[in-house]
Amino acid sequence: MPGRAQEAHGASLRCEGKAAKWLNDGVPPAQVAEWAGNSVAVLLATYARCVDGQLPDLRRRLEAAGDLP
């Protein structure tokens, strides 16, 4: 069973991969999952902590639509 240091290193390596880049670039998770050969559930469980910087754009889109929670 890997220790915390190994888990952190593994997460870092995953975050540097193409799937993380695609997610951060705004490619829909369903498309990234297809390209990566995974289900959306596996993709999001693996890369959820890697997605960064999309909140301001999502907030603007929700505000423009009048649908902000």
Which pLDDT tens digits describe the chain residue by residue (69 residues)?
A: 444 433 444 455 566 688 988 988 889 999 999 998 989 999 988 888 887 777 787 788 888 888 766
Quote the pLDDT of residue 5.
Answer: 38
Is residue 36 within 8 A of residue 19, CB to CB? The reply is yes
Other residues' Cβ atoms within 10 Å of the Cβ of residue 13:
10
Quote the pLDDT of residue 59.
Answer: 81
Is residue 32 within 8 A of residue 23, CB to CB? The reply is yes
CA distance 8 to 19: 18
Quote the pLDDT of residue 1.
Answer: 41
CA distance 50 to 17: 10
Closest to 58 (Cα-Cα) out of 67, 45, 49, 47: 67
Quote the pLDDT of residue 41.
Answer: 94
